[in-house]
């Protein structure tokens, strides 16, 4: 009877380890599998947005989120990154002259409350317009925030995660293009 209990416990432990290993192996494959099923871009608020290699897309009420998760998640502290796309009210497209100072002030204050400090301000070419970005960093845990608004658009582009994925996020931002040929660049959801 004691042998039977030992065998049962050993089998349960093996199943438990197998499930953990399966989860650890499957999560990093979500990105490549998503790309095989859906391609390399998504549509959002009249924009075609490239999905960086290894990222996958999840929809939520607030917008779309692209995730990059590496081996070790969710059980270990492993690198990850996510890009979120939101939109402003359609009647309020972003204007650098009107909105940038407030955009920078609000995001810098919010980031500072979470332990981040402003690292860099960037301007990126987005289609035929510009994206204005603020990059924040936090130490000792290497984690970065990238917050961007697109000129004459309602699209707001946010990245959070490991600094090694910032180039992929910026590449996705710069690869955005309007899906239609309307004269204005005001997106809608």
- In this structure, which topology does domain 2-178 adopt according to CATH? Jelly Rolls (2.60.120)
| Number of other residues whose CB lies within 10 A of the CB of residue 183 | 4
**pLDDT tens, position by position, 109-128:** 999 999 999 999 999 999 88
Residues 182, 189: Cα–Cα separation, whole Å:
15
What pLDDT is attached to residue 18? 72
Q: How many CA atoms lie within 13 A of 77 on its CB side?
A: 3
Residues 92, 151: Cα–Cα separation, whole Å:
11
Q: Three-class SS of residue 165?
A: helix
> What is the model's pTM?
0.80
Flag residues of the chain having pLDDT under 70. 1, 22-26, 72-76, 181-189
What pLDDT is attached to residue 140? 74
Place of tokens 């490549």: 32
Closest C-alpha to 76, from 14, 24, 132, 150: 24
Q: Where are the alpha helices (DSSP H) in the chain?
A: 2-26, 30-38, 96-113, 166-174
Place of tokens 């582009």: 157
**pLDDT tens, position by position, 129-164:** 999 999 999 987 778 999 999 999 998 999 999 999
């Amino acid at each position: 009877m004691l042998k039977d209990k030992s065998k049962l416990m050993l089998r349960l432990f093996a199943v438990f380890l197998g499930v953990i290993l399966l989860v650890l192996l499957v999560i990093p494959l979500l990105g490549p599998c998503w790309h095989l099923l859906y391609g390399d871009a998504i549509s959002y608020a009249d924009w075609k947005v490239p999905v960086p290699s290894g990222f996958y897309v999840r929809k939520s009420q607030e917008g779309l989120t692209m995730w990059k998760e590496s081996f070790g998640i969710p059980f270990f502290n492993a690198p990850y990154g996510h890009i979120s796309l939101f939109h402003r009210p359609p009647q309020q497209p972003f204007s650098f002259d009107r909105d940038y100072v407030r955009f920078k002030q609000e995001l810098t204050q919010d980031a500072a409350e979470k332990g981040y400090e402003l690292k860099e301000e960037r301007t990126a070419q987005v289609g035929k317009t510009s994206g204005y970005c603020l990059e924040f960093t936090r130490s000792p845990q290497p984690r970065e925030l990238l917050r961007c608004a697109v000129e004459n658009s309602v699209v707001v582009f946010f990245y959070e995660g490991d600094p090694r994925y910032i180039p992929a996020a910026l590449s996705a931002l710069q690869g955005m293009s309007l899906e239609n040929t309307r004269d204005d660049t005001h997106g809608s959801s």
